Amino acid sequence: MASLYNVKIEQLKGVGKKRGELFNKLGIYSVGELLEFYPRSYEDWTTSENLLTANHGDAVCVKGQVVTPIKNGFTKTGKYISKLEVFDGENTMEVVFFNNRYISSMLKYGETYSFYGKISRTLNGVQMIAPEFSQKDSDNIHPIYNLTAGLTNRMVSNAVKQAITMLPEKLNDPLPENLREKFSLCNLRFAIENIHFPKDNNSLETARKRLITEELLVLNLGLRQLKNHQRENNTNIVKKDFSQEFENLLPFPLTNAQKRAISDCVKDVMNREVTLNRLVQGDVGSGKTAVAASLAYTVIKNGMQVAFMAPTELLAEQHYKTFVNFFKNTDINVSMLTGSLKQSEKDKVRDAVQKGEIQIVVGTHALITDKTQFYNLGLVVTDEQHRFGVSQRAKLLSKGNNPHLLVMSATPIPRTLGLIIYGDLDISIIDELPPGRQKIDTLLIGEDKRQRALGFIKQEVLKGRQAYIVCPLVEEGEMELASAEEYAAELMLNYFQDIPVGILHGKMKAQDKERVMKQFSDNELKILVATVVIEVGIDVPNATIMMIENAERFGLSQLHQLRGRVGRGKEKSYCILVSNYNYGTSFERLKTMCTTSDGFKIADADLKLRGPGDFFGSRQHGLPQLNISSFADTKSLELSQKIADYVMADSHNLLDDNYRGLKSKILRLFVNTGNSTLN
């Protein structure tokens, strides 16, 4: 199999240079890659559908006899048309073809065929337009491939057939026999043959299960190796724990969950063997910053520097202020490095960082990773980690002398998924909010109550509070701008005449967005109308209302993040979900929001309902693209986890020759993520 990656697709019979380029367009360059180009779906020709019960719009197979001679003619618009009737033993359907002059020679009156196509139910009875057909009795399940212009399904499937015959007699299976036996997985040849040309539905399932498991296993093991690699060589050993001293600086006592997370981190940095490589995950408002600050304090007190990275300038600024406040009674120098600083100021900060005069620098990722040199960098902290992925993390660590890495994320994700996404990190979870937080009242209202809700917002604003309004979602592009502005204009005209309202939408330049956010956080704007997700992590304690239009269009986790923007201060906060769905699953989902504030429960519900895309947007997790499996498939994730545990116990670091094939699969998977640290 491995050698088939070296056989160019052009070398197949009937492919050649031109057609080869079409395969290239689909990402297929070699015969090996063609074999991994699994069908998008299948046509099941094994069971004939009953015409009486077949649903309008379904693609089905109908086996029947041609009971009329084929009638050819022209439509009103001049198209060549052929019609015939097919009898399935009980009912008839009309079969119609357009612009095919060979139909009369291909289909014979009185003969029986299988027809595969979409059923349409019309006033005149059941119809199938331009179906595929075949007279062979032993017909089976046909693969349907993703195509590109110029390439037909038949061309792809013929090429795959040929490729299968090229598989070597003795096929090296990346899953060795002991694993296949123990976890009831079929061998590679069976899997390849049956994923493309299934003997029957059972064989297809067996093949799928094996390939999915293999893919997730490879991913899982790859991430574990990444972790092992990164954790080697702790060159920044911390000798003394200063977390108690830090706690005495704080105006509040830490929660037990915060203390646990801090102690996890401190243990790691004091460990002589390995580098800290940890994710601190905690719901919005759980106090992750204080955890990071505590670790930073200990690291600095042991003579090293700390870099704190935020995804946006505004967040960087906010964290900067927080750190200045935490460290105000110490000799620690905090500096900020963001794009809006003058060049001379940036140079000054960088110079001081390089000389070691500044112990902690807070800034955006780009600024710190690209040019800044450190005197003695011991710890990197990054906030809101889901914005960048595995490979960026690896790049970060190339800074300085293998610094410790602490990642913070508010995106609650179910455990099984976490093991994959954060497979290269240890995890501490802050599962407790600081005391005295008020529950955010979440209300679900129909559009008929919008006016009252806006009246309520006005009242609160006049009392001194601020509010976010997430306006209706629209398609991306120009429309977005127009409709956000229109929406905001209408609100200003009809409800908020004397109130400063700001607008935030996806088409704005980053610096304009930041300006508006800053005006809002400085309380110059009282109401913020936004189309896009309002900056994660932003902390405006005076904002107490979050109103979300078309709430049913958002993922629950997204709603939870949005809701987390309020309820951050002393005042009572509200989240108003506007939706006209008062029935069905949309309604149930929104109801969940009203009854629970537990981010993990919400994430679990969301994953079940919508799949993992909504956690991260498209591919934001930075993992290699999956070919056949899905992160939403919890069962397979769990199985692959189990097998990975078994493999690691059986052969540490896959050194055993038995796992050679698996190891080369891991390398192949990670090649495209730019992860040179993997070996």
| Residue 293 binds ligand ADP (CB under 6 A) | no
Q: Of residues 432-471, which lie at the interface with ligand ADP (CB under 6 A)?
A: 434
Q: Distance between CA atoms of 6 and 190, rounded to whole angstroms? A: 22
Binds 579: which of Mg ion, ligand ADP, none (CB < 5-8 Å by kind): none
| Residue 282 binds ligand ADP (CB under 6 A) | yes
Q: Distance between CA atoms of 215 and 158, rounded to whole angstroms? A: 25
* Shortest distance (Å) from residue 280 CB to ligand ADP: 9
The conformational region for residue 69 under phi > 0 = left, psi -120 to 50 = alpha, else beta, is: beta
| List 101, 161, 252, 489, residue binding ligand ADP (CB under 6 A) | 252
* Shortest distance (Å) from residue 615 CB to Mg ion: 17
330: enclosing H helix or E strand: none
| Residue 543 binds ligand ADP (CB under 6 A) | no
Type of residue found at 362: V
Nearer to ligand ADP (CB atom), residue 440 or residue 529: 440
Binding-site size for Mg ion (CB under 5 A) equals 1
| Residue 311 binds ligand ADP (CB under 6 A) | no
| List 22, 290, 516, 605, residue binding ligand ADP (CB under 6 A) | 290
State phi, psi for 263 to the nearest 5 degrees: -65, -35
| Residue 599 binds Mg ion (CB under 5 A) | no
Nearer to Mg ion (CB atom), residue 403 or residue 537: 537
| Residue 564 binds Mg ion (CB under 5 A) | no
Alpha carbon separation from 485 to 44, 530, 534, 622 (Å, rounded): 50, 10, 16, 34
Binding mask 491-530 for Mg ion (x = CB under 5 A): ----------------------------------------
Q: Do 544 and 571 touch, CB atoms closer than 8 A?
A: yes
Kindly calculate the radius of gyration of the chain based on its CA atoms and give it in whole angstroms. 31
Closest CA to 539 of 383, 314, 325, 327: 314
User: b/e for 189-217, b at 16 or more Cβ within 10 A?
Assistant: eebbbbbbbbeeeebbebbbbbbbbbbbb
Please count the other Cβ atoms lying within 10 Å of the Cβ belonging to residue 582: 11
Q: Of residues 533-562, which lie at the interface with Mg ion (CB under 5 A)?
A: 537
Q: Do 606 and 473 touch, CB atoms closer than 8 A?
A: no
| Residue 284 binds ligand ADP (CB under 6 A) | yes
| Residue 336 binds ligand ADP (CB under 6 A) | no
Q: Do 550 and 578 touch, CB atoms closer than 8 A?
A: yes
| List 220, 225, 230, 286, residue binding ligand ADP (CB under 6 A) | 286
Q: Distance between CA atoms of 565 and 587, rounded to whole angstroms? A: 23
Q: Of residues 512-541, which lie at the interface with ligand ADP (CB under 6 A)?
A: 539
Largest CA distance in the chain: 97
| Residue 412 binds Mg ion (CB under 5 A) | no
Binds 286: which of Mg ion, ligand ADP, none (CB < 5-8 Å by kind): ligand ADP
Q: Do 585 and 552 touch, CB atoms closer than 8 A?
A: no
Nearer to ligand ADP (CB atom), residue 98 or residue 252: 252
| Residue 622 binds ligand ADP (CB under 6 A) | no
Binds 379: which of ligand ADP, Mg ion, none (CB < 5-8 Å by kind): none
Stretch that binds ligand ADP, among 186-194, 251-259, 617-625, 659-667 (CB under 6 A): 251-259
* Shortest distance (Å) from residue 662 CB to Mg ion: 39
**For 478-564, where are the alpha helices, taking DSSP H only?**
478-494, 510-521, 556-563
Give the footprint of ligand ADP on this chain (CB under 6 A).
252, 254-255, 258, 282, 284-290, 410, 434, 539
Give the footprint of Mg ion on this chain (CB under 5 A).
537
